[in-house]
Amino acid sequence: MKLYQGHKSRLSKNMLDLIKSMFEDAPVYVCILEGPEHRLQYANKIFRQLYGGRIFPAGTRAQEVLRLFRGSEKEVRDRTAVLDKVYNTGEAFIGNEFKTSFTSEVKNDSGEAYFNLICQPLETTSGEVYGLFITGYEVTEHLKARQEKAYSKKRLTIALEGADVGFWELNLKENSLDYTTKQCKAHFGFSPDEEFSLKDFYMAIHPEDRGYIKKNIRNSIIGSGEYKVEYRVLRSRTSVHWIMSRGQCLYDENDRPYRLIGITMDITKSKEAEKKLEKAVKIRDDFLAIASHELQTPIAGIRAHAELLQWQLEETDNEGYMEQIAKINKGISQLSELTRNLLDFSRIKEGEVQLQKDEFLLGQLINEKVETLDSVSQHELQVEGEKNVKVFADKIRIGQVLTNLIDNAIKYSPAAGKIIVRYTRTKDRTVISIIDFGIGVHAKEREKIFERFYKGGGRLKDTYPGFGIGLYTSLQIVKQHDGDLWVEDNSGEGSVFSFSLPNK
């Protein structure tokens, strides 16, 4: 190694060679400075790389090196001051995560790096300081990773607190609750400073739900690892809260479960709303069932008497009365259809239809329904399809669907002359279409008309009697058969309602 001019190193050549052989390829930075101006005597490879791989002649002043590569003059001053202090006091300087700036020539990302370093004085045997020995290593990545972890934790805490979500960790090896946030404690009626153990957790759960929770924890550990429960918590004798908890089991490298971690949320309000809604729906359904059932008896009575009257009047051939009685009969038919619709609807709740499936001739059922409706309709009802097509389905329910769709076709095509009922069987399904030449369904309403209580037709809505439940009921029945129900445009001349039934 060349020495700087005019200054002979206080270290012998042998000593310098020894240092060089020891530290040249070391994974830590090593640098030796000498004299009060801190002239560079030696810098190992990794140190030189820090300075863009440049080789400075021995004897270059530290300040010159610093000036070339540090961000600012202040940084140069501060760093030189540190060197001066060690040199003058003989006391080592230890820098932990010591922040250092670099120009972009050296570090082109943020320009900041962090080091753990030590700067020690080199002394003669008589104790006189003649140089500095600096060694260190970079900890930037390590520090950033730690900061990122802390940020992530902070972000998570803010998110959890903001959403009033509690967090807990169950240690499965010790069978103890290791960690619970204040929200989690609050969900069980505990204050933030109170101890909250696994025993407290179980005691807070409603006695009727404890077994269910234990079973679920066990199942999640031995099963998929997923934990998903809803249970009641007794914060006091009178106050019951509903808690929803989700979690995940963690397994070690030997697949042994060691932790179950999760969140808690208070869902009391939505549970109460759900219950109120369930109750309201039940009251409505019960009422509908009773009302529609009760209405059917007097309607049947009126119908029988009206028919009798019509028959008697036909004998007397009284035109005026005949017209009146025909109107009464039409009204009765409408009333009867409405109550039948109501009754069907009240019996059919989503997914609760009990099907009695059997094989039957489709054409026969269609003809039966068409004949009944033919007598009350002005329309010509045409049936098209192969006579021997059989389906495997609930005949009564499919009959309801057919009646609903044909009824609608009649109702929504007052000015048309005919309605076609067409059925075709393909490889895997049978499709039944009811084709009318009436008012049609607006493209915007094609999805909505299948919702319950939806009546379409815009301004014309009140022109046609109905509760908006026929298509909904029909769709439920068809879905229960794993089929489909849909509507299409009949080339701008009305609509085509079709439903499919899978072949057996």
Binding region for ligand ADP (CB under 6 A): 408-409, 412, 436, 438-441, 449, 454-457, 466-472, 495, 497
Least Cβ distance, residue 475 to ligand ADP (angstroms): 9
Considering beta carbons, is residue 32 or 439 the nearer one to ligand ADP? 439
Distance CA 33, CA 83 (A): 9
β 176-180/166-171 pair status = antiparallel
In the complex, least distance from residue 326 CB atom to ligand ADP, rounded to whole angstroms: 23
Nearest approach, Cβ of 363 to ligand ADP (angstroms)?
Answer: 22
Instruction: Write out the two tokens for 452.
Output: 């319950």
For residues 220 and 473, which CB has a smaller minimum distance to ligand ADP in the complex?
A: 473
- Is the CB of 169 or the CB of 436 nearer to ligand ADP? 436
Instruction: Report the residue number, 130 or 467, with the smaller CB distance to ligand ADP.
Output: 467
Q: 59 or 440: whose CB is closer to ligand ADP? A: 440
The kind and range of the H/E element at 324 are helix 319-347
Distance, CA of 418 to CA of 428 (rounded, Å): 30
Query: Which is nearer to ligand ADP, 43 or 478 (by Cβ)?
Result: 478
Could you give phi then psi for residue 22, rounded to 5 degrees?
-75, -40
Shortest Å distance, C-beta 164 to ligand ADP: 42
For the chain, the residue count is 504
Q: Hey, how many other C-beta atoms are within 10 angstroms of the C-beta on 373?
A: 20
- What's the closest the beta carbon of residue 395 comes to ligand ADP, in angstroms? 21
CA dihedral (297, 301, 306, 308) positive or negative: positive
Dihedral pair phi/psi, residue 111, rounded to 5°: 80, 5
What tokens does 277 get?
A: 């809604």
Q: Between residues 258 and 467, which has the closer beta carbon with respect to ligand ADP?
A: 467
What minimum distance in Å lies between the beta carbon of 477 and ligand ADP?
13
- Smallest distance, ligand ADP to C-beta of residue 461, A: 7
Report residue 275 as tokens.
Answer: 């219950």
Ordered strands of the 93-101 beta sheet: 39-43, 29-34, 129-138, 112-123, 93-101
User: How do strand 29-34 and strand 129-138 relate by DSSP bridges?
Assistant: antiparallel
Contact by Cβ (8 Å): 72, 102: no
Site of tokens 């009641």: 232
